[in-house]
Amino acid sequence: MPKRLRLTRRVNLALTEDAWRRLKRFAAEAGLDEGEALSFLFENFDSVMDEETFGHRLRLFNSELEARKR
pLDDT tier at 3 (50, 70, 90 boundaries)?
A: low
pLDDT score at 68? 76
User: Under 8 Å CB-to-CB from 5, ≥6 apart: which residues?
Assistant: 36, 39
- Cα–Cα distance between 13 and 29 in angstroms, integer? 22
**Sign of the alpha-carbon torsion through 29, 49, 11, 66:** negative
Between 34 and 11, the more confident residue is: 34
**Sign of the alpha-carbon torsion through 14, 15, 20, 24:** negative
The structural domains of the chain, with segments of one domain joined by +, span: 17-69
pLDDT score at 1? 44
Question: Mind listing the pLDDT tens digit for each residue in 14-57?
Answer: 898 999 999 999 999 999 999 999 999 999 999 999 999 999 99
User: Under 8 Å CB-to-CB from 4, ≥6 apart: which residues?
Assistant: none
pLDDT score at 4? 64
